[in-house]
Structure 1
Amino acid sequence: MSASRVLLAGATGAIGQEVLRLLHAKNHFIRTLSRSKQNAAKVQSLASEVVLADATDASTIGDAMANIDVVISCLGANVSLSMRERRSFRAVDVVANSNLLDAAKRAGVKRFVYLSAHGGPGWDHTRYMRAHIEMEERIRSSGLSFSFVQPTGVFTALVDLIAMARMGMGSVAGDGRAKTNPIHPIDVAEILADLVDEGPEAVDAGGPETMTREDIMRVAFDVVGKTPRVFHVPPFVFRMSSAMMRLLHPRLSDMLEFVAFVTTTDAVAAVRGKRTLRPFFEEIAKKAAG
């Protein structure tokens, strides 16, 4: 397999950093996009080139796609409930990735690999999933070769549970019995890095452990050495909060709407990952403790 020229977007995120490391190890040429010099400094040791650009602003992308074979986009709005960014998921995910897609088409790029999300029938009523579905449809109709990676919850989206457990109480929506098989960011990155040249149009990806939402919360308590105190919050509370925040904080509104749905709905994907949750939580807890 010959080396390819890759434009990697989202290289400073948890998954993007791992994709960068893997592509570098395979001797691919890697051009990354960074919104600031501070972010650029995080990737310059592994990236072949770093371009200062904000993908949500098409005018900044410029010639970033020149002589590129494939785009791998790990761009996506932060899913942490502690986020400060107020823009909706669509305003970031669809706008940024559409700008990349349009620039790729103009430059003659042949392939687009997109980090999407696991979903199922009926999931499109949430704004979070609609953003991913809309972007997938745009890529499908672009004429480019493409692959989507659709992970269940990535471990990094669960780190807020460690903070909850440290405070001695945690919450889950509904009865906590909905099942999922979350996946390690490194496992997701390995899938993405293997799709540089070719691959299936869609890769549904979950981890090796299927757990209930309450199981996951209890792992967090166990890791920090606290007695589990789990409160069950009626889903309508999240939905009401989402409606109240719609104008004030669109991102938080989107996230609360999605949490109310996804944490009360089974979300189990094909097992693609091999790394388990507890060691990841232990590492996060150790770092937090200093």
Structure 2
Amino acid sequence: MNVLVAGATGYLGQYLVKELQNRGHNVRVLIRKEHQKELFNGIDDFFIGEVTQPKSLQGITDNIDWVFSTIGITRQKDGMTYMDVDFQGNMNLLHEAKQTQVKSFLYVSAIGGDQLRFLKIFEAKEKFVDALKNSGLDYTIMRPNGFFSDMTDFLEMAKGGTVYLFGNGEYKINPIHGEDLAKVCVDKIMTDEKEVQVGGPVLYTQNELAEVALKAWGKKVKIIHLPDWIRRIIISVVRTFTSSKVYGPIEFFLTLMAFDNIADQYGTHYLEDFFHQKVKEI
């Protein structure tokens, strides 16, 4: 297949490119700058453009069968909002895909996004999900419940010897490594499944995540549980007194800490190994 990967320079995107190459597909990579070619080996089909500038994308899906989009931002920067990137940027790609009759479009959103539209980051993502479902194209919505890279917040906190959690720390999550998620993405675009909730092979409570992070640093297990009302007050305060650029990622992370995020289990990578590798790199 001839495949376009948008968001290829990001955490998941780079793994997607490698996985598609390993399976013998012809990969076109969307980049913003010429120097980003250095991030990829064995790729000779690059398209330079900006997803937020539709004219720069003209022809991007010519002769493309599948589109994989991991386009999205966790923190708003460079004057760009979630609506600019997560929604409109993906809409610009979808417009091109419809013009050239792409066979299938896979978009990476997040678990629970359809129930959490009141969060700024999910408002934009799910607005695009709605558009993709109504586009007439075959589609797949991937809903991971957290990347290993997202868990480095626990690791950073643990570096000081103490991890702070809200409530009793018993909410559960099974985050997934980017390489494992890339394999699932490629597998699922070839099936009839329209929406896939995907997580890693091990289910952790927040307390267990904290323990794994502390042990990676060789620290004694020290976890302090804060009353959950503090979490709710923080969300309320940042929503009231800051812009969405500031409160968007804060309300996202704090809201997701208040319930289970359990998805189907996939993969062979383990968070303990990831944390230990990160500590070595630091």
TM-score over 0.5 (shorter chain): yes
Structure 2 counterpart of 1:59: 55
CA distance in 2, matches of 1:241, 1:220: 29
| Kept in 2: contact 1:218–1:228 (CA 8 A) | yes
Structure 2 counterpart of 1:259: 253
| Kept in 2: contact 1:29–1:48 (CA 8 A) | no
Give the direction of change, closer, same or farther, for the CA distance of 1:252–1:231 in structure 2 (3 Å limit): farther
Q: Please report the TM-score for the alignment, with normalisation by the length of structure 1.
A: 0.88
From 111, 114, 119, give the equivalent of 2:112.
Answer: 119
Partner letter of residue 52 of structure 1?
Answer: I
Partner letter of residue 281 of structure 2?
Answer: K
Structure 1 counterpart of 2:22: 25
CA distance in 1, matches of 2:254, 2:222: 20
Partner letter of residue 45 of structure 2?
Answer: E
2:143 aligned with 1:147, yes or no?
Answer: no
Between 1:139-148 and 1:87-96, the stretch displaced more is 87-96
Give the direction of change, closer, same or farther, for the CA distance of 1:121–1:70 in structure 2 (3 Å limit): closer
Partner letter of residue 275 of structure 1?
Answer: H
Structure 2 counterpart of 1:10: 7
From 126, 147, 156, give the equivalent of 1:133.
Answer: 126
| Kept in 2: contact 1:23–1:193 (CA 8 A) | yes
CA distance in 1, matches of 2:251, 2:25: 39
From 268, 278, 282, give the equivalent of 1:274.
Answer: 268
Does the residue aligned with 2:264 lie in a helix, a strand or coil? Answer: coil
Q: Deviations over 1:139-186 (max 9, x none)?
A: 100000011111111111111322222233333333322111111111
- Structure 1 residue runs of 5 or longer lacking an equivalent are none
Does the residue aligned with 2:117 lie in a helix, a strand or coil? Answer: helix
Q: Please report the TM-score for the alignment, with normalisation by the length of structure 2.
A: 0.91
The runs of at least 4 aligned residues of structure 1 exceeding 6 Å deviation read none
Does the residue aligned with 1:194 lie in a helix, a strand or coil? Answer: helix
2:46 aligned with 1:46, yes or no?
Answer: no
Partner letter of residue 256 of structure 2?
Answer: V
2:70 aligned with 1:77, yes or no?
Answer: no
CA distance in 1, matches of 2:273, 2:241: 35
Between 1:68-77 and 1:209-218, the stretch displaced more is 209-218
| Kept in 2: contact 1:174–1:235 (CA 8 A) | no
- Structure 2 residue runs of 5 or longer lacking an equivalent are none
Task: Report the CA distance between 1:246 and its aligned residue.
Answer: 3.8
Between 1:211-220 and 1:163-172, the stretch displaced more is 163-172
CA distance in 1, matches of 2:189, 2:44: 16
Q: Deviations over 1:176-231 (max 9, x none)?
A: 22111111111110011224444411111111221112221221111011234434
Does the residue aligned with 2:201 lie in a helix, a strand or coil? Answer: coil
